[in-house]
């Protein structure tokens, strides 16, 4: 954290030894195409959400081997001098295409395509997968929670349950998928995610009485603040809170017990005290299922921590980065694929489209290895119906051309998930919401 850092060493050792061997063997500069895709979604999930592309473009920009990185590689004899020489001038000069952030994806969707020389493209595997596997996992879980919550806002508050930098990326991914805000200040600083929060139990315990704590909080943060009311006795705390703040008390937060039961009791008490507008926020190990179970309860907002940052049972997205085509000894691009048992891959550069019916509902993910667009393709933005291309240009000749505001990704996700059949938004375990159709 304390020093400026290149992303170049966020890389597996073997990417560099492969580079060394390829340089020596004279094949390092063969043109190559790598694709990122998931062989399957997490068990029972109906769609995935693309997230992390913006962070990935930042990491690509910072992927340089400076003096410190080269010194480390030399001292530890990771690679030989010709390879270090290559790395010292490394700068990705190829092209990257991909699904835009917020877009839904399915098994086999080619969510990222990297085209360049083998040498320049192979080096990016680790950092690309790290970013996408994490951020897609979080965004995919977050999207389900947002739909479970309906119109009620959710605050992301899981920073303390995951790695300190993963926390920042998780807050970004959750916001992209529709969370209203995050507790994480760095996510506000780096990505403009709205941040929120008021007080923890420690604040109440710090004071000689709960009343003194509430008075101090109201004095400083105003009557519109959210008071945490379960440190001692909930009913007494609610009474004290309304007594001190009046009916303009912004909200009370419940963080323990049977949340539905307590919410009903607290709503009745608030109404009786005339605090009809005081909202009830619930937290405490919520996930999409417990959020859904509270749909009928008088709850005005949710705070979600652990289950969000751990992907609600699927902390990684199982995305892989596979070589699908490369030049042969005559310089001709050839599709390639391994035949490993249970892990087959499809050779050739893929093109992807989403087919929509006349009402604008998605019917299929079309994946083709021919560059020809299927019939009926319409320009992006022209809705509904027809066939929508899914890949956009992100990097052209090493220059980043696909950066966009996080708000654009958030809006895209809203549209992308709305376009899926209604079954996609069911929480129950099921199959992919639409089939992936390979046209080979």
What number of other Cβ atoms are within 10 A of residue 244's Cβ? 16
CB 176 within 8 A of CB 414: no
Distance CA 70, CA 81 (A): 10
Q: 236-265: which residues touch its own copies (CB under 8 A)?
A: 255-257
Is residue 14 within the footprint of its own copies (CB under 8 A)? yes
The contacts found for 383-386 with CB under 8 angstroms, 24 or more apart, are 383/356, 384/356, 384/358, 384/359, 384/360, 384/419, 385/356, 385/357, 385/358, 385/359, 385/360, 386/355, 386/356
Q: Give, to the nearest 10 degrees, the angle between helix 53-61 and helix 406-418.
A: 150
CB of 382 to its own copies, least distance (A): 37
> Site size for its own copies, by CB under 8 A?
113
Cβ distance to its own copies smaller for residue 20 or 416? 20
Q: Binder to its own copies among 44, 66, 88, 202 (CB under 8 A)?
A: 202
Is residue 131 within the footprint of its own copies (CB under 8 A)? yes
Is residue 404 within the footprint of its own copies (CB under 8 A)? no
Q: Give, to the nearest 10 degrees, the angle between helix 53-61 and helix 125-149.
A: 160
**Residue 36: strand, helix, or coil:** strand
Cβ distance to its own copies smaller for residue 237 or 356? 237
Distance CA 278, CA 197 (A): 16
Is residue 346 within the footprint of its own copies (CB under 8 A)? no
Q: Binder to its own copies among 143, 159, 278, 283 (CB under 8 A)?
A: 159
Q: Give, to the nearest 10 degrees, the angle between helix 125-149 and helix 406-418.
A: 60
Q: Binder to its own copies among 40, 44, 88, 165 (CB under 8 A)?
A: 165
Is residue 204 within the footprint of its own copies (CB under 8 A)? yes
CB of 168 to its own copies, least distance (A): 7
Is residue 160 within the footprint of its own copies (CB under 8 A)? yes
Cβ distance to its own copies smaller for residue 245 or 387? 245
Tokens of 405: 């505001």
CB of 86 to its own copies, least distance (A): 13
Distance CA 396, CA 393 (A): 7
Cβ distance to its own copies smaller for residue 168 or 417? 168
Is residue 403 within the footprint of its own copies (CB under 8 A)? no
CB 439 within 8 A of CB 426: no
User: b/e per residue, 154-184, with b = 16+ CB within 10 A?
Assistant: bbbbbbeebeeebbbbbbbbbbbbbbbbbbb
Tokens of 427: 């929480």
CB of 271 to its own copies, least distance (A): 23
Cβ distance to its own copies smaller for residue 376 or 405? 405
Cβ distance to its own copies smaller for residue 22 or 148? 22
CB 271 within 8 A of CB 279: no
Give the residue among 29, 56, 16, 243 at the shortest CA–CA distance from 136: 56
Piece of 226-234, 351-359, 374-382, 420-428 that binds its own copies (CB under 8 A): 226-234
Q: Binder to its own copies among 39, 201, 239, 414 (CB under 8 A)?
A: 201
Q: 28-67: which residues touch its own copies (CB under 8 A)?
A: 30, 32, 34, 58-59, 61-62
Q: 71-130: which residues touch its own copies (CB under 8 A)?
A: 72-73, 76, 78, 80, 118, 122, 125-127, 129-130
Cβ distance to its own copies smaller for residue 120 or 365? 120
What number of other Cβ atoms are within 10 A of residue 257's Cβ? 14
């Amino acid at each position: 954290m304390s020093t400026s850092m290149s992303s170049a060493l966020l890389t597996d050792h073997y990417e560099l030894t492969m580079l060394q061997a390829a340089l020596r063997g004279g094949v390092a500069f063969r043109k190559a195409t790598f694709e990122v895709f998931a062989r399957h979604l997490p068990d029972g999930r109906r769609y995935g959400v693309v997230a992390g592309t913006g962070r990935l473009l930042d990491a690509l920009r910072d992927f340089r081997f400076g003096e410190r990185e080269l010194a480390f590689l030399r001292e530890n004899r990771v690679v030989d001098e010709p390879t270090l020489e290559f790395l010292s001038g490394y700068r990705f000069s190829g092209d990257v295409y991909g699904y835009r952030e917020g877009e839904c994806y399915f098994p086999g969707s080619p969510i990222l395509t990297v085209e360049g020389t083998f040498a320049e493209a192979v080096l990016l595997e680790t950092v690309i997968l790290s970013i996408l596997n994490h951020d897609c996992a979080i965004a995919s879980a977050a999207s389900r929670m947002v739909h479970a919550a309906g119109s009620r806002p959710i605050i992301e508050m899981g920073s303390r349950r995951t790695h300190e930098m993963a926390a920042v990326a998780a807050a970004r991914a959750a916001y992209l998928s529709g969370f209203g805000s995050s507790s994480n200040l760095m996510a506000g600083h780096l990505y403009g995610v709205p941040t929120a929060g008021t007080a923890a139990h420690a604040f109440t315990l710090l004071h000689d009485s709960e009343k003194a704590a509430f008075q101090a909080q109201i004095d400083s943060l105003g009557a519109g603040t959210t008071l945490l009311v379960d440190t001692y006795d909930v009913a007494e705390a609610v009474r004290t809170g309304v007594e001190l703040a009046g009916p303009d008390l912004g909200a009370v937060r419940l963080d323990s017990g049977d949340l539905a039961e307590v919410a009903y009791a607290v709503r009745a008490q608030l109404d009786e005290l005339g605090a009809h507008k005081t909202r009830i926020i619930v937290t405490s190990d919520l996930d999409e299922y417990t959020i859904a179970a509270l749909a009928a309860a008088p709850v005005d907002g949710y705070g979600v921590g652990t289950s969000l940052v751990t992907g609600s049972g699927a902390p990684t997205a199982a995305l892989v980065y596979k070589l699908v085509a490369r030049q042969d000894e005559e310089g001709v691009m050839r599709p390639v694929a391994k035949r490993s048992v249970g892990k087959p891959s499809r050779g050739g550069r893929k093109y992807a489209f989403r087919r929509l019916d006349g009402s604008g509902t998605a019917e299929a993910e079309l994946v083709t290895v021919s560059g020809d667009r299927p019939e009926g393709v319409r320009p992006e933005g022209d809705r509904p119906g027809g066939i929508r291309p899914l890949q956009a240009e992100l990097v052209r000749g090493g220059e980043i051309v696909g950066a966009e505001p996080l708000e654009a990704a958030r809006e895209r996700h809203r549209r992308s998930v709305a376009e899926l059949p209604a079954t996609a938004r069911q929480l129950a375990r099921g199959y992919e919401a639409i089939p992936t159709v390979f046209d080979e």
